[in-house]
């Protein structure tokens, strides 16, 4: 397994946000994590990325224990998290935001090449290169934060609700991008989504988190009557 989370417990003071969660992500997979508001999805991703201290359990990434390591160290190992809410550096330009994504790298020629590739992948960002990130639309900012994360050359990309609040056309583009990343073969994706229908459609496997616990998991959750009733409105 590329990522193995075992019996993870994360609390905010006395609030247990994640209780005894175990999940796996294999190289090359798209794994979806769905569940209602407050289920602990973002907390789980933050704990994996080293942004939230864990109380119990273990997190192994490429066989190395990464629980409670500093976020920069986790990132250096090839794991990137795109947080909920598209936090671009609003006063900086699109270009500066993208270059920042590669700050831990020292292969300058490769960084320039990746930047150019990113702008080919996201033509809208090329058009907006010198514009301040804060002036971009919501969809453009989402593209930017994903592109910025990709500039670190992650092997595992974790996305927290990338489609939240975006129009269906932009949402479809983001899901297409995730599928393209998988098809190209070098990025594995752990995707948190409200949009259960589309997430389950592109995912190889999924976990359902409720009240800080995994209540269902599998490869065919879209066919599961419990999921259809609770999440797909069938």
Q: Is 58:5 a contact under the CB 8 Å cutoff?
A: yes
Q: Candidates 39-47, 85-93, 141-149, 174-182 — which segment interacts with Mg ion by CB under 5 A? A: 39-47
Tokens of 229: 């009733």
Tokens of 47: 């704990």
- 47 vs 98 by CB, closer to ligand ATP: 47
- In whole angstroms, the minimum distance from the beta carbon of 38 to Mg ion comes to 8
Q: Is 207:33 a contact under the CB 8 Å cutoff?
A: yes
**Burial status of residue 122 (CB atoms within 10 A of its CB: 0-12, 13-18, 19 or more):** buried
- 42 vs 195 by CB, closer to Mg ion: 42
Q: Distance between CA atoms of 19 and 86, rounded to whole angstroms?
A: 27
- 37 vs 91 by CB, closer to ligand ATP: 37
Residues that bind ligand ATP (CB under 6 A): 12, 15, 17, 35, 37-43, 84
- Work out what residue 32 binds among ligand ATP, Mg ion, none; the CB cut-off runs from 5 to 8 Å by kind: none
Q: Candidates 38-46, 194-202, 211-219, 220-228 — which segment interacts with Mg ion by CB under 5 A? A: 38-46
- Work out what residue 39 binds among Mg ion, ligand ATP, none; the CB cut-off runs from 5 to 8 Å by kind: ligand ATP
- In whole angstroms, the minimum distance from the beta carbon of 53 to Mg ion comes to 18
Please report whether residue 52 would count as binding Mg ion according to CB under 5 A.
no
- 2 vs 34 by CB, closer to ligand ATP: 34
Please report whether residue 42 would count as binding Mg ion according to CB under 5 A.
yes
- In whole angstroms, the minimum distance from the beta carbon of 154 to Mg ion comes to 20
Q: Distance between CA atoms of 153 and 144, rounded to whole angstroms?
A: 15
3-class SS of residue 156: strand
Q: Can you give the three-state secondary structure of 179-216, one letter per residue?
A: HHHHHHCCCEEEEECCCHHHHHHHCCEEEEEECCEEEE
Give me the residues that bind Mg ion (CB under 5 A), please: 41-42
């Amino acid at each position: 397994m590329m990522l193995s989370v075992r019996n993870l417990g994360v609390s905010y003071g006395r609030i247990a946000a994640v209780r005894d969660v175990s999940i796996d992500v294999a190289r090359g997979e798209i794994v979806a994590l769905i569940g209602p508001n407050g289920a602990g999805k973002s907390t789980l991703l933050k704990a994996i990325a080293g942004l939230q201290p864990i109380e119990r359990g273990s997190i192994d990434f490429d066989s190395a224990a990464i629980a409670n390591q500093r976020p920069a160290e986790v990132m250096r190992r090839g794991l990137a998290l795109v947080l909920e809410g598209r936090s671009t550096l609003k006063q900086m330009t699109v270009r500066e935001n993208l270059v920042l994504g590669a700050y831990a790298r020292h292969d300058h020629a490769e960084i320039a090449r990746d930047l150019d590739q990113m702008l080919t992948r996201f033509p809208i960002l090329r058009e907006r290169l010198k514009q301040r990130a804060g002036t971009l639309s919501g969809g453009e900012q989402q593209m930017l934060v994903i592109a910025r994360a990709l500039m670190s050359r992650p092997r595992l990309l974790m996305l927290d609700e990338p489609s939240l609040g975006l129009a269906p056309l932009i949402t479809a583009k983001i899901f297409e991008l995730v599928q393209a990343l998988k098809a190209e073969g070098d990025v594995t994706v752990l995707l948190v989504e409200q949009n259960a229908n589309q997430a389950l459609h592109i995912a190889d496997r999924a976990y359902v988190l409720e009240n800080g616990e995994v209540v269902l998991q599998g490869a065919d959750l879209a066919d599961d009557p419990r999921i259809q009733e609770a999440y797909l409105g069938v």
